[in-house]
A and B are shown apart, each in its own frame.
Chain A
Amino acid sequence: MKRIIFTNPTAQKIYDDYFARVSRGISILPATDQRELLMELNSHVYEATHRGITGNEVDILVDVLDQLGAPEMVLQPAVAYKKVQQAGRSFNPKHILQALYLNIANGAGFFIIGIIYLLILAFGSLAIIKFISPGHTGLFLQNGRLFVFGYTSNLPEGLTELLGNWFIAVVILLMGVFYFLNTLLFRLLKKK
C-alpha cells in the first residue's frame, strides 16, 4: 500500500495512527485480505482528502476519518466474516476458534459449536489420561449400570471396566464424529 503523504506533520501522524489501528484490527486475517482492506480504506482517504476542498489539512483529514468510522468498530464485521470463510475453507481448528470468538454475537449456533469443541477437547484429554492412569480411566459399569465414562478417582467394589485399551480408540472416534458434526454446523451457519 502506498502511504499518503501530508504536508502537515500532525495530519501525517493522525493518518499513520489510523492505519496502524486498521492494521492491528485486521492482523488476524490472511495477508491478501489485509492488503485488500488497507488499500480500499487508503484509496477512500486519498479520494476524500484530495477532492478539491480547501482548508486546514488536519481538519479535513479528521473529518474524513470521523465519517469513515473507528477501525475497531467498522472492520469487526468484515474481520469476523472473512475469518468464518477462512475457517470453512481450511478446517484449521485455530481459525475455527478465532472465527467463533469473533462471531460470538451470532448467537446460539456458534455457542453450540463452542460447546462441541469443548467436548472434543475433553475426549482428547481422556485419551491422554488413559495412558497416565489406565486403571482409573475407561467405561465403568456397576451392577450392569453405567457408572462413569471417563476418569474417576473413586473405584468402589463391583466396578467393571469394559473397554480396556479400546477406550482410546472410542474417544478418538468420538472426537472425529463431533469434529465432523461441528464442521457441518459451521458450514450451515456460514451459509446463513
Chain B
Amino acid sequence: MYYLCVMNTEFVQNWFSQVKKGTLSYIILVILERKEYYGYELVQEIKTHTSLEVAEGTLYPLLNRLKTEGIINSKWVEQESGIPRKYYTLTGSGRATLAEMKGIWLALAAAINKIEK
C-alpha cells in the first residue's frame, strides 16, 4: 500500500514565523557588529542577507527596544536634505550580549545536527 505524504504548509509557515520573530534581534546584532548603519540601510541589509519577509516598520520598534535594553545605541546625524539619519551601533554590553548569543546559537545548531545524524 502506498501513501501520499504532503507537507503541512500551514504548520511550516507558523513555525517559520516563530523562527523569524526569535532570530531577528540576533540578525540585527550580527549586522551591527561590523559597522554602524542608519535605519533604512540596516533594513535593506537584513533583506539582502536573509529571506525574511517582515513589514519593514516592525524593525524600528525592535531597534528601539534593543536601545532601551542598552544593547545598541543610536544618534541622529543631520543631512543636507534636512531629514536626518538615525545611526545605530552596538554598545559594549551589546557586544558581550552578542558573544553570548553566538555561543547559544552554535550550541543549538550543533545539538540539532547531532540529533539529525
Residues of A within 8 A of B (CB): 2, 4, 36-37, 39-44, 46-48, 50, 67-71, 73-75, 77-78, 81-82, 85
Contacts and interface: CB of A to CB of B under 8 A. Distances in A.
B55 A40 contact: no
Contact of A43 (B56, B57, B61, B83): B83
B20 interface: no
B51 to A, nearest CB: 15
Which of A73, A77, A78 gathers the greatest number of chain B CB atoms within 10 Å? Answer: A78
B58 A43 contact: no
B60 A40 contact: yes
Contacts of A42: 83
A46 B81 contact: yes
Looking at chain B's contact residues, the main secondary structure is helix
A40 B40 CA distance: 9
B86 A47 contact: no
A85 B68 contact: yes
A39 B58 contact: no
B45 interface: no
B112 to A, nearest CB: 26
3 nearest A-B pairs in the assembled complex, by CB-CB distance: A69-B55, A78-B61, A74-B57
A47 B40 contact: yes
Contacts of A41: 57, 60
Given A68-B56, A74-B61, A40 B39 contact: yes
14 contacts: A36-B64, A42-B83, A44-B39, A44-B43, A46-B81, A47-B39, A48-B40, A67-B56, A68-B55, A69-B58, A70-B55, A78-B60, A81-B61, A81-B64
Nearest to B40: A47
Contacts of A73: 55
A68 B20 CA distance: 17
Contacts of B39: 40, 43-44, 47
A43 B88 CA distance: 14
B14 to A, nearest CB: 17
B41 to A, nearest CB: 7
Given A40-B39, A78-B61, 8 more contacts: A36-B64, A43-B83, A44-B56, A47-B85, A68-B57, A73-B55, A75-B61, A81-B64
Nearest to B61: A78
B26 interface: no
Nearest to A69: B55
A47 B38 contact: yes
Contacts of B64: 36-37, 78, 81-82
Contacts of A81: 61, 64-65
Nearest to B53: A67
Contact of B41 (A46, A47, A68, A69): A47
